[in-house]
Amino acid sequence: MKKNLELEKQILAKLMIDADLLLENELSEQDFVNPTHKKLLQAIKDSGSNLALIQSKFVEEEQDYILEIAAMLMTSGRKENYAELKRLTEVRRLETILKGLQMAIDDDQPLDLIYEKIAQFDKQEIQVADMKEVLVEIVAELTGTVTAIYHPTGYTKLDKYLRWFTPGQLNIIAARPSVWKTMVAMNFLLKQTEADKKIALFSLEMTNKEISQRILARNSGMPVDQMNKPATPEQLDRVNTAMIKLEAQLKNLTLIDSVYALPQITRMIKYLHKKSWLDLVYIDYLQIFDIKWDNRNLEIGKITRTLKKLAKDLQISIILLSQLNRAVETRALQEPKLSDLRDSGSIEQDADIVLMLDRDLEYCPETMKVFIRKNRNWSLWEVELVCKPASMQIWN
């Protein structure tokens, strides 16, 4: 502890001579343990390297201590001193986390509460937008000087009315069971990987093997129900051709099928984004999250708000699949509405785009209607696609 305080005093002495080092080394009050040192850092921020002004911010009993620090000769003003101070700050943060987690474990708290505690420690600083900078960026996009970032679905008419997925969005794909919302999501993401977008798919319902079978079926035209049976030479040839074409494309896709709790998913998204950047995240699907069944509506709301914030913070597009409730099947006109979103009105509230799917499974199973029910960027519309459910394929 004494060593830590000596390091703090050395760095403060240097800052009193050259306050510009504050910005260069991104120091803040949390990097200092001693309360007087925290106060001194704030005084340096306010008064620069003016010793008289700095002293005036302290009571008489503290001023001798400030002069003592100012009189210290810095043994080293090199970068490693600041790096060591930052390292000690991180060590203290980790020690606090470990103590909190140990207490939660000792108290036999449920795992979901422990995961929530982990998530609480990962708070980001508030960022104030520079409006002039934002406006300059918009004008640059309008003039073509800078290319705007967007993620088309790959389906011409849908993209025309949707105006694409963009960074910072939480988007919903919703349907009743067996309408193939997973198939739609997979066709979107495969077309996006073709465009060199980096994507993570969290499958809470199917295993990585089942997802991979569907990807291979979609690209080979082979029926999904044939993927785990001995194949004919002609089928093997189609599968091998599809594998070759998929090889480069799938380097941009990460499949995760082993996490179900919101804190785990958010940590994994942050890790993947930091490791190799992400453009889009698909999560299949909302109602399978690990949640408290006694307060389901509040938990669903917490999930959608957390994912929306994460999309904004990381500037990625998150596509969340969701089920619709049974009310849609009881109406004469069975077109889905926003009120059909299952479990919580917060899904509709937090989403930027809501796509709702409908298929007449009895009379016209190879036609799919996509209803754009919410769209912050553009208009509401209805688009018809052609699909072949057996092999997971969709066409304009």
pLDDT tens digits, 133-171: 767 777 776 777 767 788 999 999 899 988 889 999 999
User: Which residues lie across from 360 on neighbouring strands?
Assistant: 364
Q: Is the pLDDT of residue 284 over 60?
A: yes
226-240 residue pLDDT tens: 888 888 888 888 888
**181: Cβ–Cβ under 8 A, 6 or more apart, which residues?**
173, 174, 175, 284, 285, 321, 357
Percent of the chain whose pLDDT exceeds 70: 89
Query: Pairing mode, if any, of strands 381-388 and 280-284?
Result: unpaired
Residue range 78-94, pLDDT digits in tens: 444 777 888 888 888 88
- pLDDT score recorded for residue 78: 47
Mean pLDDT of the chain: 83
Let me know: does 190 contact 182? Beta carbons within 8 Å: no
Tell me the pLDDT band of 77, cut-offs 50, 70 and 90: very low
pLDDT in tens, 27-40: 788 888 888 998 88
Confidence of residue 292 (pLDDT cuts 50, 70, 90): low
Name 38's Cβ contacts closer than 8 Å, sequence gap at least 6: 29, 32
* pLDDT at 349 > cutoff 80: yes
Query: 4-26, pLDDT tens digit by residue?
Result: 788 888 888 888 887 767 655 66
Q: Pinpoint the alpha helices (H) of the chain.
A: 2-17, 21-25, 35-47, 51-56, 60-70, 79-106, 111-120, 131-143, 156-162, 181-194, 208-220, 233-249, 262-276, 296-314, 327-330, 346-350
Pair 304, 347: CB distance under 8 Å? yes
Does the pLDDT at position 3 exceed 80?
Answer: no
Asked if 177 and 232 touch (Cβ cutoff 8 Å), the reply is no
Which one has a higher pLDDT value, 209 or 100?
Answer: 209
Q: Which residues contact 384 (CB under 8 A, 6 or more apart)?
A: 367, 368, 369, 370
Q: 200 near 272, Cβ under 8 Å? A: yes
DSSP conformational letter for 180: -
Residue 391 CA to residue 190 CA, distance in Å, equals 14
- The whole-angstrom separation of Cα 93 and Cα 124 is 14
Report the pLDDT value the prediction gives residue 126, as an integer from 0 to 100. 46
Whether the per-residue pLDDT at 51 is higher than 90: the answer is no
